[in-house]
Amino acid sequence: MDATLTLILLIASVAVVVFAGWRGARPTDITRGPRMMPWRFIMLLAAALVFFLLIHLMAELSGRPLPAAPPF
C-alpha cells in the first residue's frame, strides 16, 4: 500500500474517531429509546486503526519497510 492511500485511510479513520466520539458522548434520551450503535466501541476500533496506519505511514515514509511475517 502506498503512502497516498495510507494517508487517505488515516484521514478517514480520524474522521470516524471524531464522529463516533461525538455521538458516544451525547447524553441518553429516554424518549427515543436505547442506542443501537455502540459508538464508544466504534471509536476504540477506529482509534486502533489510526494507530496502525500511523505506524505504517511512518515506515512507508522512512524507507524502511516493516518486516514480513513468516510464511506459514
The pTM assigned to this predicted structure is 0.80
61 and 31 Cβ atoms separated by less than 8 Å: no
What band does 66 get if pLDDT is binned at 50, 70 and 90? low
Rg of the chain over all Cα atoms, to the nearest angstrom: 17
- C-alpha 42/C-alpha 45 separation (Å) is 5
Say what the pLDDT of residue 29 is. 84
Q: Provide the residue ranges of all domains of the chain, joining segments of one domain with +.
A: 3-26+36-62
What are the pLDDT digits (tens) for 32-65?
888 888 999 999 999 999 999 999 998 888 877 6
First to last CA, the chain: 22
Give the Cα separation of 18 and 15 in Å (integer): 5
SS3 37: coil
Whether the CB-CB separation of 60 and 2 falls below 8 Å is answered with: yes
